[in-house]
C-alpha cells in the first residue's frame, strides 16, 4: 500500500520505518525542516534502539522517504497515520490543535478516499471530531470525498519501540466500517502472518479508550508499588521481594512493579492527567487516577529527600547524578524525574555532576554550570553522594567496592534499585534504596 505518516517524532518515525519494513511504500512528513534535513542526511534526530538501522535500511531500499511537503505524503495514499503531539494544557486536557492541522492537510491534499489513522493518543470521541473536521475541509474545497477515520493506538515503550512495533503483543484497530477494517487488516497482514498476534477489531471509541485505559493502569501499578515501598522502608521489609512474590500471581504479573522515583516520560504523566480530565468532562470523578498522580508526585521527591537527610546541608556539596533520560534505552528527557532531582539539588546550593550515555546533550543548555562527565566514574570521583536516576546497564556494572573507592562520602541514593542492597552495605556504604530500610554507616 501507499502510506503517509504525518509527524516523524518518536512514534511517527518508528511507525513509518516499520510500515516500510513490511513492504509498504511510505512517505513520512514533518513540518520541522531541521528534522527532515537530518533524516535525509542519514542521521536520526533522537536515540532509540534498533531505529537507526531500520530507517537506514528502508530509506536505502526506497520504500521510505522523508519530506516536509504534506502533499507528497498525502496525495495518492491509501492510509495516512497521524502521529503528532498531543501536549497537555495547564488544566491537564490534551491540546489537539496539531491533530486538527494534520486532518486539514489530509483534506487539502488527498486525491481520493483515505483511511485516516489516529496513532497519536487522543481522548475518546476524537474520531468523531476528526471525521467532522475532514468533511468540513473537504466540503469547503468543493470535494465530495469520504474519508474513513480509524483509531490504531500504539503500545510501544521507548527504548524498545521498534521491537514492540515489529513484534507486537496485539494490534488494536477501531473502525466504524468493514471497509476500513479490511484495509487495516491488509496493512498489518505480514505481522499477523508472522507472529499470529491478536487483531483486536472494535469501534473507534473503544479503541481510543483502550489506549488511555492501558497507560493509566500501568501508571497505577507503578504508583501502587511505590506506595508499598514507603511501608517497606518504615517496617524494614524488602519491596523487591514483595514485588517478585506478587508477580508470580498471573493475575498480577511482575511487569511495572519496580519501585522507584515514579513514572515520567512523554506518555504516562500526560495520559493520566488527560484521562482524569476526560472523565471529569463526562461527569465521572476518576479518584483512583487522581491518587495515582498524587502518589507519583510524592515518589518523584524521594531522591532529593533522601540525599538531604543523609548530607543534611546540600549547599556546596558535590552530588553525582547518574542518568538524565527518563528511562534507559532512550535519550528522551521529557518529564524526566532526573531533571526534577537536578533542579532540587541546585535549588539548595549543591553542585551537580551529570552522566548519561546518550542524553547529556539535551540538558547542556538547561544546566550551563553543571559538570558534564563523559564517564560515570568521572562523575563519582570525589562526590559527596550519588543518586541513580536512570537504570542504564553500565551503572549496574560498577561494583559496590568501586563506589566506596570513588565517593568522598560513602552515600548512595539508589532510586532505581540497580545494585543489591546487601552488596552496598557490605562495602561500607550508607544506602537509601527505594523500598528498603535505610542503612547508615556509623559516623557517616
Q: Kindly list the catalytic residues.
A: 267
CA 321, 322, 325, 326 torsion: positive or negative?
A: negative
Going by C-alpha positions, the residue among 155, 75, 164 that lies closest to residue 121 is: 155
Residues 208/125, Cβ–Cβ less than 8 Å: yes
CA distance 392 to 328: 5
Q: In the chain, count of helices (H) and strands (E)? A: 17, 14
Beta bridge pairs of residue 4: 27, 80
411-414: strand order across its sheet: 371-372, 351-355, 318-322, 385-388, 411-414, 430-433
Q: Estimate to the nearest angstrom the gap between the alpha carbon of 340 and the chain centroid.
A: 17
Distances (CA, A) of 217 to 214, 268, 280, 289, 367: 5, 10, 18, 9, 34
By CB atoms closer than 10 A (0-12, 13-18, 19+), residue 443 is: exposed
Distances (CA, A) of 81 to 166, 196, 349: 16, 23, 47
Strand, helix or coil for residue 273: helix
CA distance 7 to 4: 10
Residues 164/138, Cβ–Cβ less than 8 Å: no
Residue count (the chain): 444
Beta bridge pairs of residue 150: 117
Residues 184/115, Cβ–Cβ less than 8 Å: yes
Amino acid at each position: 500500500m501507499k502510506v503517509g505518516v504525518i509527524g516523524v517524532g518518536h512514534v511517527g518515525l518508528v511507525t513509518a520505518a516499520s510500515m516500510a519494513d513490511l513492504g509498504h511504500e511510505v512517505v513520512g512528513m514533518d513540518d520541522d525542516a531541521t528534522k527532515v534535513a537530518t533524516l535525509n542526511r542519514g542521521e536520526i534526530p533522537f536515540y532509540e534502539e534498533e531505529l537507526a538501522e531500520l530507517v537506514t535500511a528502508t530509506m536505502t531500499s526506497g520504500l521510505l522517504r522523508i519530506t516536509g511537503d504534506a502533499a507528497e505524503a498525502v496525495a495518492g495514499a491509501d492510509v495516512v497515520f497521524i502521529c503528532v503531539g498531543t501536549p497537555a494544557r495547564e488544566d491537564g486536557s490534551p491540546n489537539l490543535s496539531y491533530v486538527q492541522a494534520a486532518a486539514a492537510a489530509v483534506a487539502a491534499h488527498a486525491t481520493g478516499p483515505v483511511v485516516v489513522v489516529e496513532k497519536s493518543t487522543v481522548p475518546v470521541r476524537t474520531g468523531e471530531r476528526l471525521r467532522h473536521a475532514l468533511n468540513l475541509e473537504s466540503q469547503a474545497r468543493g470535494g465530495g470525498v469520504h474519508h474513513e477515520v480509524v483509531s490504531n493506538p500504539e503500545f510501544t515503550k521507548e527504548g524498545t519501540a521498534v521491537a514492540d512495533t515489529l513484534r507486537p503483543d496485539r494490534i488494536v484497530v477501531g473502525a466504524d466500517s468493514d471497509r476500513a477494517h479490511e484495509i487495516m487488516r491488509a496493512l498489518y497482514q505480514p505481522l499477523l502472518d508472522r507472529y499470529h498476534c491478536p487483531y483486536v477489531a472494535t469501534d473507534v471509541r473503544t479503541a481510543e479508550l483502550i489506549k488511555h485505559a492501558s497507560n493509566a493502569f500501568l501508571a497505577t501499578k507503578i504508583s501502587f508499588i511505590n506506595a508499598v515501598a514507603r511501608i517497606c522502608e518504615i517496617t524494614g521489609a524488602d519491596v523487591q521481594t514483595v514485588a517478585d512474590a506478587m508477580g508470580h500471581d498471573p493475575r498480577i504479573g511482575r511487569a511495572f512493579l519496580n519501585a522507584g522515583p515514579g513514572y515520567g516520560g512523554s506518555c504516562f504523566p500526560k495520559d493520566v492527567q488527560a484521562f482524569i480530565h476526560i472523565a471529569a468532562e463526562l461527569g465521572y470523578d476518576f479518584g483512583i487516577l487522581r491518587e495515582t498522580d498524587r502518589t507519583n508526585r510524592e515518589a518523584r521527591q524521594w531522591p532529593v529527600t533522601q540525599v538531604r537527610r543523609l548530607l543534611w546541608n546540600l549547599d556546596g556539596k558535590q552530588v553525582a547524578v547518574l542518568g538524565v533520560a527518563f528511562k534507559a534505552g532512550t535519550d528522551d528527557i521529557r518529564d524526566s524525574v532526573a531533571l526534577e532531582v537536578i533542579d532540587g539539588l541546585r535549588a539548595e546550593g549543591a553542585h551537580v555532576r551529570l552522566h548519561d550515555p546518550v542524553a547529556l546533550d539535551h540538558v547542556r543548555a538547561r544546566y550551563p554550570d553543571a559538570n558534564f562527565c563523559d564517564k560515570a566514574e568521572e562523575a563519582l570521583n570525589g562526590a559527596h553522594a550519588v543518586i541513580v536516576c536512570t537504570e542504564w546497564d553500565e551503572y549496574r556494572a560498577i561494583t559496590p567496592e568501586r563506589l566506596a573507592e570513588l565517593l568522598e562520602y560513602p552515600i548512595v541514593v539508589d532510586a532505581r534499585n540497580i545494585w543489591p542492597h546487601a552488596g552496598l552495605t557490605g562495602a561500607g556504604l550508607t544506602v537509601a534504596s527505594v523500598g528498603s530500610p535505610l542503612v547508615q554507616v556509623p559516623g557517616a
